[in-house]
Structure 1
Amino acid sequence: MAEANPFFNSKEVQDFNKEIQKYHLGPLWNAIPDLMHKQPKPEAVPYLWKWEVLEKKLEEATQIFTPERGGERRAIFFQNPGFQGRQPWGWASTTNTLYAAVQLILPGEEAPSHRHTQNAMRFITNGSGAYSIVQGQKIYMEEGDFLITPGGLWHGHGHEGDKPMIWMDILDIPIIYSAAGTFFEGHPDGLEKPSLPDNYGARRYRGGMVRPISDRTTQVAPVGSYKWAQTEAALTGLSDFEPDPYDGIAVEYINPSTGTTANPTMGAWIQKLPVGFHSKAHRHTSSSIYHVYEGEGYSVINGIQYYWSKGDYLVIPNWAWHEHVNTSTKEAILFCSNDIPIMEKLGLQKEEAYTKNKGYQEITGEFSPVLAK
């Protein structure tokens, strides 16, 4: 980063700057200190959304918004307070690059199929009986399942159960919006009709870390749904060994035909924090959005303590120091979505360990969440 130069604030320079702006030209000599920082300065800020608020507002939304009234989806997104100046709608930004939301579908409802440039992921948090139809494949959803919908694939939802179904959506809306690369199209049949056997991908991959020989060539989404039972078994097996000092016991969802992340622009994994576990602090250029699937505890982000419990959502911006603590009497399970693939593709991913105080931050304050009225 270039240092600010007092001369550039002189009348001579300021007059010249105003002159060239008439021609839609800009003065790099003044701009470069603001454009090239010594380290990342994301607009996103750390924030925590409580489940009791989300549950109440989703319930209220069911009384107002229905598929028949339009709107595509009954979803409430996490609007990071740091993006209030972004228009429109803060670009629906939860971090600088990622959108996240909670979506609810009622029994008997159908959400029409559509497709778009944005990549999407879902983590199922509450209920059963709902399904997604992705490119002709009907995928039934259960709590703890992880689903992917890479950009350009038709996808819609329906519900054959008897209770509301809720899940977390994650999309790369902000990065696609900023690149002006958005395309969106509704399906001509409303909800797409199935053309493959139900749960096709999950059934083909029920063997876990083996794959059909036909998938030795790259497939965009050979597994559309990663079942909780297999994920839980992987966590259990890894629990025989020492947890990672920063992330606990963690496994990442991958595309079995490529070995890379399940979605091309977004990473996702499950972290298990053993009873009493206190991770060491670190930071990285990628941002993360957490859902607390089980347990309770707190995270320290840049010195501020964020208490969380089952159902809560937490955002950790780029280059923010963070550590996690499990304070419950059982293991805590956290679902993490992140933009590591984007950062790696751009050559920007970097990680740094906190070296002071034996790797733990000093707590300087406590976050106060906004509670439901």
Structure 2
Amino acid sequence: MSLAQPADLAVTNKKAALKGLYDALYEKNMFPFWATSEGVDHDEIKQLMATSKAIPFVWSYTDIEPLLQRAAELVTMDDSERRSLILVNPGLAPKRASVSTMYTAYRLNDPDEIMPPHKHSPSAIRFGLTGKGNFTGVEGEDVVFGPGDMVLTPNDAWHNHGTVGGEQAVNLSVLDLPLVETLHAVHFDHKYTEMVDGKEVEKKVQTARFPSDYSQRIYGEGGLMPRFVDHKRGGGLSSPMYVYRWEKMEASLDAHKDWDGDPHEGIVIDYVDPTTGGPVFRTINFYV
């Protein structure tokens, strides 16, 4: 029979003591933040890196479009006013996110469907895909948009969605919802009211307060900006230009098609806040 040497005994005793310490910490909902070479059970680097992460993934529109049509047949506006298909990254499921900070969804609206206004703390855009009658009303500016047009619905700006013109239309929604969720700052408001004859009245459709071409008329010429309008509408936390038309972007791309462009990205043009030259939102940048 051999006896444990003092050094071996010290190691054994330390392991037992550490296990007791770790068990006590976990029981009290705490985590030991120090490196250890004793196995992996309490390796804080491994545990910190073990959180869910988005993985490379491709969603095909050939898969999405038939499902949008089936949803339109089975889910009416009486069932739900927000009939969208959300892209869920397999690495983040069941979290509603395409990447860790961004939410993406496809929406098909049948002819002349208009949803009531709402607002929320996440910032969002709608990008027209099919049909000429996609509709978004943003803070009193009624925007009808088609393929390639991008419409902003800034955080806390009242807006509503739908279609006009008697045909189906599909658009893509992008929001910074997962980021705002991480910051515990999500809120939605569905009770839209306007003052009518001195009384606050709940309404299902926003009253237009701006011309339908307001964004292009005020902000559509680079280097020129009228001084006689309020550029802080919708809270002033995003671009006050609510619609970016595809023909403008396409013309700019075509004007530079013979340029070498960036050696890695080619010809890239940003959508910008015309009042600052920065991104349209403080949380997301968009470009073509």
- Which bracket does the TM-score occupy, shorter chain normalised? 0.7 to 0.9
Q: Corresponding residue for 1:316?
A: none
1:46 to 43, 56, 62: 56
Deviation, structure 1 residue 41: 8.2
Q: Which range is displaced more, 217-226 or 249-258?
A: 217-226
Q: Corresponding residue for 1:179?
A: 183
- Call closer, same or farther: CA 1:36–1:82 in 2, change over 3 Å: closer
Q: Which range is displaced more, 135-144 or 28-37?
A: 28-37
Deviation, structure 1 residue 202: 1.9
1:191 to 205, 212, 216: 205
1:226 to 222, 244, 250: 244
Secondary structure of residue in 1 paired with 2:265 = coil
In the alignment, the residues of structure 1 paired with residue 239 and residue 262 of structure 2 have an alpha-carbon distance, to the nearest angstrom, of 29
Alpha carbons 1:146, 1:228 under 8 Å: kept: yes
- Call closer, same or farther: CA 1:233–1:35 in 2, change over 3 Å: farther
Q: Corresponding residue for 1:344?
A: none
Alpha carbons 1:215, 1:222 under 8 Å: kept: no
**Residues 211-230 of structure 1: CA distance to partner in whole angstroms, max 9, x if unpaired?**
22346966433210000111
- Call closer, same or farther: CA 1:240–1:122 in 2, change over 3 Å: same
In the alignment, the residues of structure 1 paired with residue 145 and residue 21 of structure 2 have an alpha-carbon distance, to the nearest angstrom, of 62
Alpha carbons 2:219, 2:274 under 8 Å: kept: no
In the alignment, the residues of structure 2 paired with residue 216 and residue 258 of structure 1 have an alpha-carbon distance, to the nearest angstrom, of 14
Pick 1 or 2: higher relative contact order, CA cutoff 8 A, min separation 6. 1
Is 1:204 the counterpart of 2:218 in the alignment? yes
Is 1:249 the counterpart of 2:249 in the alignment? no
Is 1:154 the counterpart of 2:158 in the alignment? yes
Identity, % of aligned pairs? 26
Secondary structure of residue in 2 paired with 1:91 = coil
**Residues 339-366 of structure 1: CA distance to partner in whole angstroms, max 9, x if unpaired?**
xxxxxxxxxxxxxxxxxxxxxxxxxxxx
In the alignment, the residues of structure 2 paired with residue 73 and residue 235 of structure 1 have an alpha-carbon distance, to the nearest angstrom, of 34
**Residues 75-115 of structure 1: CA distance to partner in whole angstroms, max 9, x if unpaired?**
1011000012xxxxx33110010001111111111122100
Alpha carbons 1:216, 1:257 under 8 Å: kept: no
In the alignment, the residues of structure 2 paired with residue 35 and residue 135 of structure 1 have an alpha-carbon distance, to the nearest angstrom, of 45
Q: Corresponding residue for 2:44?
A: 32
Q: Any residues of structure 2 matched to 1:1-373 within 5 Å, and which?
A: 10-29=15-34, 30=42, 32-34=44-46, 43-70=53-80, 72-84=81-93, 90-186=94-190, 187=192, 188-214=202-228, 219=236, 220-270=238-288
Secondary structure of residue in 1 paired with 2:268 = strand
Alpha carbons 2:180, 2:186 under 8 Å: kept: yes
**Residues 269-289 of structure 1: CA distance to partner in whole angstroms, max 9, x if unpaired?**
11xxxxxxxxxxxxxxxxxxx
- Name stretches of at least 5 consecutive residues in structure 2 with no aligned partner: 1-10, 35-41, 193-201
Secondary structure of residue in 2 paired with 1:63 = helix
The AA in structure 2 aligned to 1:16 is L
In the alignment, the residues of structure 1 paired with residue 114 and residue 173 of structure 2 have an alpha-carbon distance, to the nearest angstrom, of 17
Which structure is larger by alpha-carbon Rg, 1 or 2? 2
Alpha carbons 2:134, 2:170 under 8 Å: kept: no
Deviation, structure 1 residue 64: 1.5
- Call closer, same or farther: CA 1:94–1:10 in 2, change over 3 Å: farther
CA-atom RMSD in angstroms: 2.4
Q: Which range is displaced more, 113-122 or 15-24?
A: 15-24
Secondary structure of residue in 2 paired with 1:167 = strand
Alpha carbons 2:54, 2:99 under 8 Å: kept: yes
Deviation, structure 1 residue 245: 2.2
Secondary structure of residue in 1 paired with 2:115 = strand
In the alignment, the residues of structure 1 paired with residue 229 and residue 167 of structure 2 have an alpha-carbon distance, to the nearest angstrom, of 37
Deviation, structure 1 residue 205: 2.4
In the alignment, the residues of structure 2 paired with residue 110 and residue 10 of structure 1 have an alpha-carbon distance, to the nearest angstrom, of 66
In the alignment, the residues of structure 2 paired with residue 140 and residue 53 of structure 1 have an alpha-carbon distance, to the nearest angstrom, of 27
Aligned residues: 256
In the alignment, the residues of structure 2 paired with residue 244 and residue 42 of structure 1 have an alpha-carbon distance, to the nearest angstrom, of 33
In the alignment, the residues of structure 1 paired with residue 254 and residue 102 of structure 2 have an alpha-carbon distance, to the nearest angstrom, of 30
